[in-house]
Amino acid sequence: MSTRTETPTHGPLAVDGVSSDEGHAALRASVRRLGELLGESLTRHEGADLLDLVEQVRALAREPDDGAKLAELLSGVDDRTAIVLARAFTAYFQLANASEQVHRGLELSRQPAGGLSAAVQRLHEAVTAGDADPREVREVLGRLQLRPVFTAHPTESSRRSVLDLLLRITAIVEASEDPQQRAVDAERGRRRLAELVDLLWQTDELRVERPRPADEARSALHYLRTLSADVLPDLLEDLEVGLAHAGLDLPAGARPLRFGSWVGGDRDGNPNVTPEVTLEVLGLMHEAALDVLSAAVRELRTELAASTQVVGVSAELAASLERDAHLLPEVRADRERLNGEEPYRFKLSYALARLEGTRARLRSGGEHVPGLDYSGPEEFAAELRLLQDSLRANDGDLVAEGSVARLLRTAHAVGFGLATLDVREHAERHHAALAAVYDRLGELVQPYASLDRDSRRRLLSRELAGHRPLIGAAVRSLTGTPAQVMHLFATIRASLDRYGDDAVESYIVSMTQGVDDLLAVVVLAREVGLVDLADGGRGDGAGPGDVARIGFVPLFETVTELEAAEELLEGLLSDPSYRRVVAARGDVQEIMLGYSDSSKDAGIAASRWQIHRAQRALRDVARRHGVVLRLFHGRGGSVGRGGGPTGEAILAQPYGTLDGPIKVTEQGEVISDKYVQPRLARHNLEVALAAALEASTLHRSSRLGDDVLDAWDGTMDVLAAAGQRAYRSLVRDPGLVPFFLAATPVEELGNLNIGSRPSRRPGGTGGLEDLRAIPWVFGWTQSRINVPGWFGVGSGLAAARADGRGEELREMYASWHFFRSFVSNVQMTLAKTDLGIAAHYVEELVPAGQRGAFDVIREEHARTLEQVLWVTGQESLLEGAPVLRRTLELRDAYLAPLHALQVSLLARARAAGEGVDPALRRALLLTINGIAAGMRNTG
């Protein structure tokens, strides 16, 4: 069951808090039909005996005993049979997930219009009532921008081939739900469905080898193409039309929805992402964007058949056609016979030729030739506006504001690259490059590497204020890391020169801990011409010649870094030279907030609260310096890594932190779950965009009095501190690492080949601190313990109640969006936690002397369950979401056998040591894949 789409967390068939028993019954019928087809396929391929075994395993897993009978049965199963069992249960979950997506989308389509229209209506009412300043609203609308950023973090366990088959299956399931479907079509659909389920069984779920970054880019582009062509035009039209009806207009050139990507740009800990890979991925992205725009132009050309025999055209358009004929005579010769009296079609034919010329130029890296290709998307947009102006002047207003406007909005949103690529690199690599340079110059009293942070800050600030070339021709003498770092900056400049300023926008610095970490990047960027603070600029304003072709983004990942974020941003913006860089970027400073590592570091309670507090502090610093703050939320799919409904998370931010632009990561299984179905994709983007609109325009000041906020802040301080103590007591216990490695299949993650990035940070000691947040969450999820999503919350809530803040907690849950969202996400994770299943892992896999951590986990789980139920006023989890509860119960009937099989296979594999049979390893990996499908979570 997914919790990541923008349907509220009450479940797949619950919209606006209303559950649908009828919808749940239809879903169960659909799942049952697909399950029967799967059974028939299994019988055809493996025989009736194996189908009987599958049913026997499922039945034993549901018996209320200690699992001894099932364990005995599975212990006698050979490796090949184990493979079939694992595949059978995995295929069931894949089909169940596909059916859920269809019925979620159908249920949403039956609901009254909401989301964006409701947000626009609230904005209109606020302006009309005088509660919102119309001038301020229009100013904010000009910079409104939701940017989902697609990442290649390895959490999608399903292969693209499997996802494609499932997409075809969902299309047939959806068609079968149409009551008007003809009987002959229904019968054909049943045959096709049986065929596709059979193909699903014949398709290997596991990747043969680890994907390359270019493979990950193609996967992301699959979704970006579909979203750009099928979802984005309607959504942007609805926003613009809705605002117009409310008396508000988006400024010309506004980009309220754009896409971003990390694929091919995220270098932190991934040696496979080289500068050459970055260029390759940018090439793929621009090819895809030009495909999308060319297809849209062809469609518009087919539609725009207005003839000069009927209507006129503007003098400007006629003059442009004359110029086009001179520049592109082959197009004129080809189209004049067909479209000689259809000037709009003629113009679009020239536009298509220029798009193809642009494609050829970008492929070759050649120079722009005016008239033969476009210098950038703005030149293409200008031609579309020329069409609009001519249509408006000649009784074509409806077309101008309809089809042409739709294409124009798409062009503004996707540009020539579909998405803007972010680059991320570790802070220490930049200092390593600077150390090599300064040590070579020999002008420092002590080696650069031995300078403290403040000394480095003063040195780099002086360097940035000066104008000397620090490296110059000496760049050729650099080797190792310094050479790689400078090669990256040179590649970014080459990319911008070739593809335009939208190609790469943000340079994100991992492990930012001081002002020097950002200044180091700016100094290095200056060396290749990405930054140029020309003479004549001073103070807070950019000089007339100041250039900053990319923005520089600190990433605050741990609780310690989040606590220091305010001081760091103040230091950055107080540096005159850096302030000029920000001014050259339009007075926008981006900050990235890391959810995964802060949660792994201090527990979910301290992580969420410190992120919330950091946002307030960063907001206040930005306001003092006259800077627009663009927050980039690095959220994962699971609750333990910041997951949960994006719309709710946006609305739960502190007031004033969203001032128009916002970026949010989308990764792994989240992408397929949210965007594979057009209806769901539209809904998810709409809810997030509506939340960004509402938070930016209507949540600019506090809705609560200072006394109330101060009291609630105090309660959260108590809760977070106690939660952090409990969590760190667990993770810093020397016995936890051996327990974690024994009780979960985390060590097997690397064999799944689900991503190009290694699961551990390079150069570590092999301990918990080296393990990335994704496998940390992944392991606990597989064994149903889910520590990252709830541990410490019970201790925190209990501490707050013991401090006399019990009723305040209930008030917070009823009235504070942040706290309610936090508790709801914890409740969801608790519902997916099953310590009965977990106990089986512990008893069978963990040596008796290493089980102490499980007693601590049990105790905290009981405490958290008790406290969450008390705060929410419920007697049981998901009391207000019966559909979701039934769905989880249905899934558990099929998950239990997979867990039992995984435990059995893990025990066998570990007993075999290095000599694990390939069939056994394959069976084990299939159980991991199946549980991930059943839980709808990996990391």
Q: How far apart are CA 456 and CA 514, in angstroms?
A: 10
Highest mean pLDDT out of 257-271, 328-342, 575-589, 754-768: 575-589
Are residues 213 and 277 in contact, defined by beta-carbon separation less than 8 angstroms? yes
pLDDT value, residue 774: 75
- Give the model's pLDDT for residue 328: 95
Residue 347 annotated among the catalytic residues of the structure: no
Greatest Cα pair distance in the chain: 91
- Number of Cα atoms under 13 Å in the Cβ half of residue 342: 17
- 59: confidence class by pLDDT, cuts 50, 70, 90: confident
376-426 pLDDT, tens digit each: 999 999 999 999 999 999 999 999 999 999 999 999 999 999 999 999 999
pLDDT digits (tens, 9 = 90+) for 321-352: 999 999 999 998 887 777 778 999 999 999 99
Mean pLDDT calculated for residue range 646-650: 87
The predicted structure's pLDDT at residue 259: 97
The answer to whether residue 600 is catalytic is yes
When pLDDT is averaged across residues 254-265 and rounded to a whole number, the result is 94
| Mean pLDDT within 707-711 | 94
Cα angle: 774, vertex 777, 779; to 5 degrees: 105
Q: Kindly give the interhelix angle for 918-935 and 773-782, rounded to the nearest 10 degrees.
A: 90
Q: What distance in Å separates the CA atoms of residue 60 and residue 68, rounded to the nearest whole number? A: 9
- Round the CA-based radius of gyration of the chain to a whole number and report it: 29
Q: Give the C-alpha separation, 433 to 442, whole Å.
A: 15
Predicted local distance difference test score (pLDDT) of residue 154: 42
**pLDDT given for residue 878 in this prediction:** 81
pLDDT value of residue 11: 29
Tokens of 91: 């295929």
Token readout for 49 is 């005996």
H or E segment to which residue 551 belongs: strand 551-556
Query: What average pLDDT does range 470-481 have in this prediction?
Result: 85
Per-residue pLDDT band for 268 (boundaries 50, 70, 90) equals confident
Q: How high is the mean pLDDT of the chain?
A: 87
Q: What is the DSSP letter of 843?
A: H
pTM as predicted: 0.89
Which of 153, 663, 674, 899 is an active site residue? 153
Query: Could you tell me where the DSSP H helices lie in 365-452?
Result: 377-393, 397-399, 405-414, 427-441
Question: Beta-carbon neighbour count of residue 202 at 10 Å?
Answer: 10
Band of the pLDDT at 638, cuts 50, 70, 90? low
Q: Which of 600, 633, 699, 861 is catalytic?
A: 600
> Is residue 823 scored above 90 in pLDDT?
yes
> Could you tell me the two tokens for 81?
């049979």
CB half-sphere exposure, 541, CA atoms < 13 A: 5
Q: Which of 81-90, 146-155, 906-915, 925-934 has the lowest mean pLDDT?
A: 146-155
User: 774-793 pLDDT, tens per residue?
Assistant: 788 888 999 999 999 999 99
Residue 792 is predicted with a pLDDT of 97
pLDDT in tens, 82-114: 889 888 888 888 888 888 888 877 777 766 656
pLDDT at 238 over 90: yes
φ and ψ at residue 352, rounded to 5 degrees: -65, -40
For residues 681-689, average pLDDT: 92
Most confidently predicted of 68-77, 466-475, 816-825: 816-825
The answer to whether the beta carbons of residues 821 and 648 sit under 8 Å apart is yes
pLDDT at position 763: 52
Give the model confidence (pLDDT) of 175-210 as tens digits: 888 888 898 988 998 999 999 999 999 988 776 666
Per-residue confidence (pLDDT) for residue 768, from 0 to 100: 62
- When pLDDT is averaged across residues 426-444 and rounded to a whole number, the result is 93
